[in-house]
Amino acid sequence: MVELDRQPIPERRDASGRPPPQRIPETRPTPLQDWFIYLSVIVLICGVVAISALELGAQPGDAIVRLPVVIGGIVLVIVSLDALLRIWRSAWAWLPVDRGRGLFRFVWAAVVAASIVLASGAVIFVLLA
């Protein structure tokens, strides 16, 4: 058996010598914060129905695929916009405290924005099919 020589992980400190905070409290909740989970469940169910129908041989233009994709896609875009707002606010809140965490949240916001564009494209594709 090989025994590993573990080295302690250096703890980050801010300018005053204290460790940076793990969380920053949210000062303004987003509009859909209380409904986020419930709306996500709608998206999940619509996705399961649409994917199952496609797997069973339905075409993208069939109503059994089109209806869940349109409903789920619209709800997904709305939920993602709410999440994007929350991430954007978080990024600005973290910048003065921990620049690295703030910049990482900006990257995360860009990924969510790209997913919104892709989800919108998928809904448009199914509507035009």
Euclidean distance between CA atoms 14 and 94, whole angstroms:
13
58 φ/ψ angles, rounded to the nearest 5 degrees: -70, 155
Q: Where are the domains of the chain?
A: 33-128
CA distances to 20, 46, 54 from 40, rounded to whole Å, are 32, 10, 21
**pLDDT in the model for residue 120:** 93
Can you give the pTM of this predicted structure?
0.79
Handedness of CA 24, 26, 30, 32 (dihedral sign): positive
φ, ψ (nearest 5 deg) of residue 67: -60, -50
Burial of 68 per CB tally in 10 Å (0-12, 13-18, 19+)? buried
- Measured between alpha carbons, how far apart are the two ends of the chain, in Å? 60
Query: Going along the chain, which residue ranges are E strands?
Result: none
Q: What is the pLDDT of residues 47-99, one digit of tens each?
A: 999 999 999 999 988 999 999 999 999 999 999 999 999 999 999 999 988 88
pLDDT of 96-109, one tens digit each?
888 899 999 999 99
Structure confidence by residue, pLDDT tens digits, 42-57: 999 999 999 999 999 9
